[in-house]
Amino acid sequence: MLKSSESPSAEPPSRVGRRPSTSRAELERHALRLFAERGFDEVTVEDIAAAAGIGRRTFFRYYKSKNDAVWGDFAGELRRMREVLDGCPPGMPMMDALREAVVDFNRLDAAQIPWHRLRMRLILEVPALQAHSTLMYAEWRAVVAEFAARRLGEPADALLPQVIAYACLGAAVAAYEQWLRQDGSDLAGFLDEALRALASGFGEPPRRD
């Protein structure tokens, strides 16, 4: 089952039991490819498992659900964003810090852009994934809310930190939607613009600096 030509990620230390047949990343590649070819709803978990040469049951040991197979290492990315926020100078205005963290969180090297576009197109356009995203974003919001709460001296579950977290998420999603509408457009620019709008508020007058 494990083709010798594709050791999942070079086994460094000695291990104890049977080695995994594949890896999350490998599985995700197969999944994304199939979704791109046929559409999310037209691909079954069995299809993905077969493409990866594993059993259907085993797929669910790598990903809790079909939906999850699209999200890559979101938990890891999230950890990075938390660290960026933790390590930002205490003097920096809250919204500047959040804006920079979000822009940084979504920085990609050119090679990954096509994959990331595909991933995000699925998440934002396929209803099942759109719905599921809410559950994924919950942790993202928690990170933002905790940061905002610290800055405001309020508990993280108070109204204002929660509003800020929801609003930042919304701004980021809206920016992503713009980015998807035109190939080669500037994601960081949209994110920056959306979050600046949040910082200055939607009330009149719009304060032209």
Q: Does 134 bind its own copies (CB under 8 A)?
A: yes
Q: Does 114 bind its own copies (CB under 8 A)?
A: no
184 in helix, strand or coil? coil
Q: Contacting its own copies (CB under 8 A), which of 76, 87, 127, 153?
A: 127
CA atoms of 155 and 145, how far apart (whole Å): 9
86-119: b (≥16 Cβ within 10 Å) or e: eebeeeeeebebbbbbbbebbeeeeeeeeebbeb
Instruction: Select from DNA, its own copies, none the partner in contact with residue 164, using the beta carbon and a kind-dependent cut-off of 5 to 8 Å.
Output: its own copies
Q: List, in sequence order, every beta strand (DSSP E) within 15-159.
A: none
| Smallest distance, its own copies to C-beta of residue 178, A | 5
| Smallest distance, DNA to C-beta of residue 18, A | 3
Instruction: Select from DNA, its own copies, none the partner in contact with residue 204, using the beta carbon and a kind-dependent cut-off of 5 to 8 Å.
Output: its own copies
Per-residue interface string for the shown chain with DNA, residues 61-100, x marking contact by CB under 7 A: xx-xxxx---------------------------------
| Residues 123, 133 contacting (CB under 8 angstroms) | yes
Stretch touching its own copies by CB under 8 A, among 12-20, 100-108, 113-121, 196-204: 196-204
Rg for the chain, CA atoms, rounded: 20
Size of the site for its own copies (CB under 8 A): 42
Look at the alpha carbons of 62, 24, 83, 118 in this order and tell me if their dihedral is positive or negative: negative
CA atoms of 178 and 185, how far apart (whole Å): 8
Per-residue interface string for the shown chain with DNA, residues 24-63, x marking contact by CB under 7 A: -------------------xxxx------xxxxxx-xxx-
Of the pair 46, 73, the CB lying nearest DNA is at 46
